Amino acid sequence: MSDLKITNLYKRYGNVEVLKDINLDINSGEFIVFVGPSGCGKSTLLRTISGLEEISSGALEIGGRLVNDVAPSKRGIAMVFQSYALYPHMTVFDNMAYSLKLQRISKAEIKKKVEAAADMLQLGPYLERLPKALSGGQRQRVAIGRAIVRNPQVFLFDEPLSNLDAALRVATRMEIAKLKESLPDTTMIYVTHDQVEAMTLADRIVVLKDGVVMQVGTPMELYDTPQSLFVAGFIGSPKMNFMTGKHAESYKAHTVGVRPEHMKITPNGSGVWSGKVIYSENLGSDSYIYVDIGEEEAVIVRQDGKTPYHAGDTISFAPEADLYHRFDETGSPITTGVVTPVKAASIRSANPANSAKGGAPDAGVVGSAGAVAMPASKTSAKKPAAKVASPKAGTVKTAAARKAPARKAPAKPKA
């Protein structure tokens, strides 16, 4: 069994408590990810599990055995660090076999274990190479292979992908996911600050702050039902938008949070909030619009595909359906009461698309299959609104139609 139980664990350096009353039950075969900001204690907690740091008080059990005073080498644990820590003068085979040689295991058994781990990690063709002849991702796989051959009860990963570039991070993350499937009975504990690694690899995520466990749950539990303002803002990238003061009054909350992908742009100033675009990012598959509504940080609105909005445009937006979160002044979630948010004041910007009167919302809202409501062209601004055909759902306007209009008041329709 490789289950792990932590009870009332504290870690102190002098009078400073860096881990405070940690209580965790980790099931055999689970993939657990520790996340949190720098200095939250996630790496320290990992090191106390490994035995590299002593426990000040509390209990740590692995497989039902108390291991507080058990040496690291006797705990049935293997650890993979951020640095590869490979012996530069040894081949890949010798690096992976070194710990087995120290245990005086037979050469035949060593060869069998190393080759099995190499096949699992696709390192077979590189066994006779030195580390300097390998890429960063291959070196990290050698470090993982060196841990696999020990057949540990528990794998510990301390930010193993931090030294890799973006492409190698994706490839190596996939290798770790495959490793997880190949070793279903081995418990894995993984420390990272990377949101993608946490959300894609974890069975459950442990969020820490200032040495305290803030919430434990599956990736989607933390994403959909954060139990504090901190967790809501930490899980997810880009992070959740927070509106306070007058911007949260209609939600009967101290703070209301909405994720960028749950914001929809509304026509005619009919949204809950309105503001000026200060920056927009077109990423091809999607876009992010940064809007100033008077909060300390800009509100981020995500749109599918390219956005027609640019700096200086005024837009109105609101959460999709009930996809928002309410928090009280302590940062705790509010789950009671029914709210009916009021609409934002009508906006009369120089953009004809924003100042047009009447009309039902277009199909072009964030996350819909319809077209995004585009700023009208100069020509269309001179015509009565009733004669302008609405874009059909799923249509895409031409480049000319996407251009923002000149900064002048819209012409009045003819009588």
Q: Which residues of 128-147 are buried (b: 16+ CB within 10 A; e: fewer)?
A: eebbeebeebbbbbbbbbbb
Compute the mean pLDDT over every residue in the chain, rounded to the nearest whole number: 82
Average pLDDT for residues 296-322, to the nearest whole number?
93
Domain with CATH 2.40.50.140 in the chain: 238-391
Q: Give tens-digit pLDDT for 249-291.
A: 889 999 999 999 999 999 888 889 999 999 999 999 999 999 9
| The residue to which tokens 């060196």 are assigned | 146
pLDDT, residue 377, reads 37
Q: Give tens-digit pLDDT for 22-40.
A: 999 999 999 999 999 999 9
- The answer to whether 201 and 33 have CB atoms below 8 angstroms apart is yes
Cα of first residue to Cα of last residue in the chain, in angstroms, is 82
pLDDT, residue 337, reads 66
List Cβ neighbours of 399 (8 Å cut-off, separation of 6 or more): none
List Cβ neighbours of 314 (8 Å cut-off, separation of 6 or more): 274, 275, 276, 277, 347, 349, 351, 354
Q: Which of 269-283, 293-307, 357-371 has the lowest mean pLDDT?
A: 357-371
| The residue to which tokens 């200086």 are assigned | 312
As a whole number of angstroms, the distance between CA 79 and CA 147 comes to 7
391 compared with 96, residue with greater pLDDT = 96
As a whole number of angstroms, the distance between CA 102 and CA 115 comes to 18
Q: How far is CA 235 from the centre of its chain?
A: 5
Confidence class for position 179, pLDDT limits 50, 70, 90: confident
Q: Give tens-digit pLDDT for 123-178.
A: 999 999 999 999 888 898 899 899 889 888 999 999 888 877 777 788 888 888 88
97 compared with 412, residue with greater pLDDT = 97
**Residue type at 199 in one-letter notation:** M
H-only helix segments in 32-121: 42-50, 92-102, 107-120
- The answer to whether 2 and 63 have CB atoms below 8 angstroms apart is yes
271 compared with 342, residue with greater pLDDT = 271
pLDDT, residue 348, reads 34
As a whole number of angstroms, the distance between CA 198 and CA 167 comes to 17
As a whole number of angstroms, the distance between CA 304 and CA 370 comes to 10
pLDDT, residue 400, reads 35
Average pLDDT for residues 380-395, to the nearest whole number?
38
The pTM assigned to this predicted structure is: 0.77
Report the CATH superfamily, name and number, of domain 4-233.
P-loop containing nucleotide triphosphate hydrolases (3.40.50.300)
Q: Kindly tell me if the per-residue pLDDT of 353 is higher than 60.
A: no
Helices 136-148, 92-102: inter-axial angle, 10-degree rounding: 20
Report the CATH architecture of 238-391: Beta Barrel (2.40)
Q: What is the CA radius of gyration of the chain?
A: 28
Domain with CATH 3.40.50.300 in the chain: 4-233
**Residue type at 251 in one-letter notation:** Y
pLDDT, residue 350, reads 35
Instruction: Count Cβ atoms within 10 A of the Cβ of residue 343 and give its class: 0-12 exposed, 13-18 middle, 19 or more buried.
Output: middle
**pLDDT-above-90 percentage for the chain:** 60
Q: Is the peptide bond before 319 cis (omega within 30 degrees of 0)?
A: no
As a whole number of angstroms, the distance between CA 76 and CA 99 comes to 13
As a whole number of angstroms, the distance between CA 330 and CA 339 comes to 20
As a whole number of angstroms, the distance between CA 141 and CA 295 comes to 45
Average pLDDT for residues 88-110, to the nearest whole number?
92
Average pLDDT for residues 389-405, to the nearest whole number?
37
Q: How is the chain split among helix, strand and coil, in percent rounded to 5?
A: 30, 25, 45
pLDDT, residue 13, reads 94
Q: How far is CA 126 from the centre of its chain?
A: 34
